[in-house]
């Protein structure tokens, strides 16, 4: 059993100085405060020797920062319905890791079940000064809550998806409209004219953005999206599978299928396979929302737009700390997606 360090007073009496002197040696930057080089050295040496570790709670009690950032993610119940997002989450966290390590910040995972918002637990975390800032990812948030959070003055950033009206809020998001547009143009350039869409949940702004991007690209070629070839989904394999079988059973010709997730793209491919159709020769498959670094589907689908998760995580870590330090007061970043034309296999 390792003994649990000593207090600043123990250290001080060991070196025969006042506790405050120790505190100043250990905390003030070099030239801010005047201390003889000799005293400084004696204290630092003794700190080493006695294995002194300042009690972090005492520090925080004095109103210091906690150096902890909260990351609010959907609770399992919601997560389960968005399994395709899991890899995004780990990637985003990976993107944050480096900078947080450098700045000695830690990440506290918070699960956004309904109670979190109802009971205003985020406010509690804030008031208890448990975290210095809040990053919000993948949760569905009503505007009222966003507004309330905003008005607390507490540093926060919405990541990837935002409440609908987010003009004055802090966010880092992705240009889904542009990505969908790019993907569609790419398919059009390859000669595809019969394009089906298996979209995500229609109430999400992401879904609307994507659809808009597709329609704009089609409109540029004087084409429109055939309403019979639009399917709703819950991002799951089976949704892609079922929609594709329905498509193939119908009378409309299909040359390309755009899906809202990789998981669905796999379902589409499985269904095409059942019909002995080859990808991408017979039917092209595209995913609007791929996880970077996962390359299974590169070998199968021609076009994917990858979410720049690492960059988003990196930006999030840097920006939240700048918010906390008061160096900026608004974060509104938009990242482009990464296009991959997938013909690597």
Which residues form the interface with DNA (CB under 7 A)?
7-9, 16-21, 23-24, 26-27, 33-36, 38-39, 53-55, 58-59, 61-64
Contacts of 210 by beta carbon, 8 Å cutoff, 6+ apart = 176, 177, 179, 180, 199, 200, 260, 288
The nearer residue to DNA, 29 or 327, going by C-beta atoms, is: 29
Q: Which one of DNA, a copy of itself, none interacts with residue 33, CB within 5 to 8 A by kind? A: DNA
Q: Which one of a copy of itself, DNA, none interacts with residue 24, CB within 5 to 8 A by kind? A: DNA
Residue in 75, 178, 212, 341 binding a copy of itself, rule: CB under 8 A: 75
Give the integer Cα–Cα distance in Å for 265 and 243. 11
Q: Which one of DNA, a copy of itself, none interacts with residue 26, CB within 5 to 8 A by kind? A: DNA
Write the DSSP string, 237-270: HHHHHHHHHHHHHSSS--SEEEESSHHHHHHHHH
| 127 touches a copy of itself by CB under 8 A | yes
| 5 touches a copy of itself by CB under 8 A | yes
Residue in 16, 20, 28, 53 binding a copy of itself, rule: CB under 8 A: 53
Closest approach, Cβ 32 to a copy of itself, in A, equals 24
Closest approach, Cβ 129 to DNA, in A, equals 9
C-alpha dihedral, 261 to 263 to 266 to 271, nearest 10°: -90
**Which range touches a copy of itself (CB under 8 A), out of 39-47, 125-133, 179-187, 322-330?**
125-133
What are the Cα distances from residue 71, in Å, to 102, 110, 246, 342?
Answer: 18, 6, 40, 33
Q: Are strands 332-335 and 338-340 parallel, antiparallel or unpaired?
A: unpaired
Find out whether the peptide bond into 193 is cis, omega within 30 degrees of 0: no
Q: Which residue has the tokens 């987010």?
A: 166
Host H or E run for residue 119: none
Closest approach, Cβ 40 to DNA, in A, equals 7
- x/- track of binding to a copy of itself for residues 263-302 (CB under 8 A): x--xx--x---x------------------xxxx--xx--
**Which range touches a copy of itself (CB under 8 A), out of 118-126, 201-209, 243-251, 332-340?**
118-126
Burial of 90 (0-12, 13-18, 19+ CB in 10 A): middle
Give the integer Cα–Cα distance in Å for 187 and 341. 10
**Which range touches a copy of itself (CB under 8 A), out of 75-83, 168-176, 187-195, 210-218?**
75-83
Give the integer Cα–Cα distance in Å for 228 and 251. 10
* Start-to-end Cα distance in the chain: 56
Closest approach, Cβ 61 to a copy of itself, in A, equals 4
What are the Cα distances from residue 61, in Å, to 29, 108, 129, 289, 321?
Answer: 21, 19, 9, 44, 21
The nearer residue to a copy of itself, 1 or 31, going by C-beta atoms, is: 1
Contact residues: a copy of itself, CB under 8 A: 1-2, 4-5, 53-58, 60-61, 68, 71, 75-76, 79-80, 83, 86-87, 89-91, 93-95, 97-98, 101, 106-111, 113, 123-124, 126-130, 151-153, 237, 241, 263, 266-267, 270, 274, 293-296, 299-300, 345
């Amino acid at each position: 059993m390792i003994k649990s360090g000593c207090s600043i007073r123990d250290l001080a009496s060991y070196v025969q100085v006042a506790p405050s002197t120790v505190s100043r040696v250990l905390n003030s930057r070099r030239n801010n405060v005047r201390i003889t080089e000799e005293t400084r050295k004696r204290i630092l040496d003794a700190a080493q020797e006695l294995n002194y570790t300042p009690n972090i709670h005492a520090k925080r009690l004095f109103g210091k920062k906690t150096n902890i950032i909260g990351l609010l993610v959907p609770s399992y119940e919601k997560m389960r319905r968005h399994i395709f997002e899991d890899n995004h989450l780990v990637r985003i966290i990976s993107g944050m890791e480096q900078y947080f390590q450098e700045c000695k910040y830690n990440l506290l995972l918070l699960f956004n079940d309904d109670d979190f918002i109802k009971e205003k637990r985020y406010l509690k975390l804030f008031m208890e000064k448990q975290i210095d800032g809040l990053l919000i990812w993948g949760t569905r948030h009503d505007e009222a809550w966003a507004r309330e959070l905003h008005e607390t003055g507490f540093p926060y950033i919405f990541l990837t998806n935002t409440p609908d009206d987010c003009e004055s809020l802090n966010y880092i998001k992705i240009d889904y409209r542009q990505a969908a547009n790019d993907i569609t143009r790419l398919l059009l350039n390859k000669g595809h004219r019969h394009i089906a869409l298996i979209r995500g949940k229609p109430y999400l702004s992401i879904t609307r953005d994507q659809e808009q991007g597709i329609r704009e690209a089609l409109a540029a070629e004087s084409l429109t999206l055939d309403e019979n070839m639009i399917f709703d989904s819950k991002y799951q394999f089976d949704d892609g599978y079922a929609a594709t079988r329905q498509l193939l059973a119908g009378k409309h010709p299909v040359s390309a299928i755009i899906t809202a997730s990789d998981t669905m793209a796999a379902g589409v491919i499985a269904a095409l396979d059942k019909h002995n159709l080859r990808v991408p020769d017979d039917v092209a498959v595209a995913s609007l929302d791929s996880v970077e670094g996962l390359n299974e589907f590169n070998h199968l689908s021609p076009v994917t737009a990858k979410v720049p998760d690492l960059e988003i995580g990196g930006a999030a870590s840097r920006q939240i700390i700048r918010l906390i330090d008061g160096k900026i007061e608004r974060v509104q970043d938009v990242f482009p997606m990464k296009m991959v034309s997938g013909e690597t296999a």
